[in-house]
Structure 1
Amino acid sequence: MMLGIPAALTVARGHLDARLDPYLGNNFFVEIDGLLVGSFSAVSGLQSEVQVTEYCEGGVNEFRHQLPGSVHYPRLVLTRGITEIDTLYAWYARVCEGEFKRRDMTVMMLDRRHVPVVWWNVKAALPVKWRGPDFDASRSTQVAVESLELVHRGIVKPILSRAAGAARAGREMIVEPVVDSLGNGDQ
């Protein structure tokens, strides 16, 4: 199924020869369970990798078969300056007390006007490590930061996010359902 992009947008892009500069990696929001939870100085671990098993076939010495297996997601790490708002630490503290409440998250990349242009949904995140600030009296201008590491059940770039990117580029997008590691389709 093809998702049509307005012809005017496509023609305008072609005539104006508009540049498609990459977005800056310092302009983003994090949303947990539908609520913006503050600004962060860094988000890392937004990645996935398909584990590969090599299989040697008898009599075939030119190559090894590489068979795809399960998907691995590293921990997501959120880093920010410490403020009075301690929502994330409180969530981690409840996990330490045995209340294992997983939450869905969204990491949104913004354009220069602070409009979300690309986003990734992180499924069923759970904080497993908190790190507080390092104190050093010789660095009087250094901001005190904390970080929170989360395990999760997968990262999905929703179809609406992919379509928004294609529309901004003035391209048509082939819409195919994407299945995550749990067998769930796009939502």
Structure 2
Amino acid sequence: MSSRLDPGSTVFYRLIIDGESLGFFNGCEGLASTVEIEQRQEGGNNGFVWQLPSRVSHSNIRLTRPLTPETSKVAAWVSSLATGIKRPTAQIAALRADGSEVAQWGLLDVLPVSWTGPTLDASNPAVATEVLEIAHHGFTD
């Protein structure tokens, strides 16, 4: 009997920017693309409308996690925009609990859009979390 892995059971996500790991995240949303469609009616053919693809847009990706030692790497990457914009490539990998990879997405021309650090309130103890939002120009291998 073969030991098949469940392809959809992901637990955490790894983010790598130009070969440097920014750590593991427990939430990832926004891996999506949308193709705009233009409709063109063909003259003399009343029963058919052409559906033509035009522009492809990609949504921003939001990664969330509790604070980790890699938090300083994320803050440094966002702060580096002050010295000039560099659009690196990135990889996001969905991982199982044992660390094996379910899937990976390559991202082109990545740019940090926002970073939100934790709310620190001693009167209301909770897990300190951070949120990183990134934009990109498309997917690659």
Q: TM-score, normalised by structure 2?
A: 0.79
Task: Give the conservation status (yes or no) of the 8 Å contact 1:110–1:117.
Answer: yes
Partner of residue 27, structure 1? 12
Partner of residue 78, structure 2? 92
Q: How does 1:27-66 map to 2 (within 5 A)?
A: 27-58=12-43, 60-66=45-51
Partner of residue 153, structure 1? 137
What is the Cα deviation at residue 20 of structure 1?
Answer: 6.1
Change (3 A) 1:25 1:111: closer
Partner of residue 106, structure 1? 91
3-state SS of paired residue (1:39): strand
Query: How many aligned residue pairs are there?
Result: 140
Instruction: Specify every segment of 5 or more residues in structure 2 that has no aligned partner in the other structure, as ranges.
Output: none
More strand, by proportion: 2
Instruction: Specify every segment of 5 or more residues in structure 1 that has no aligned partner in the other structure, as ranges.
Output: 1-15, 159-187
Percent of pairs identical after alignment?
Answer: 35
- Cα distance in structure 1, aligned partners of 2:33 and 2:23: 25
Change (3 A) 1:123 1:66: same
Amino acid aligned to 2:73 = T
Residue 128 of structure 1 pairs with residue 128 of structure 2: no
Q: TM-score, normalised by structure 1?
A: 0.62
- Cα distance in structure 2, aligned partners of 1:101 and 1:54: 37
3-state SS of paired residue (1:90): helix
The higher radius of gyration belongs to 1
Amino acid aligned to 1:42 = G
C-alpha RMSD over aligned residues: 2.6
Change (3 A) 1:18 1:58: farther
More helix, by proportion: 1
What is the Cα deviation at residue 138 of structure 1?
Answer: 6.4
Residue 144 of structure 1 pairs with residue 128 of structure 2: yes
- Cα distance in structure 2, aligned partners of 1:26 and 1:93: 29
Task: Give the conservation status (yes or no) of the 8 Å contact 1:56–1:65.
Answer: yes
CA displacement, residues 3-57 of structure 1 (integer Å, 9 cap, x when unaligned): xxxxxxxxxxxxx477663331323322122122112121221121222112233
3-state SS of paired residue (1:51): strand
Change (3 A) 1:61 1:18: farther
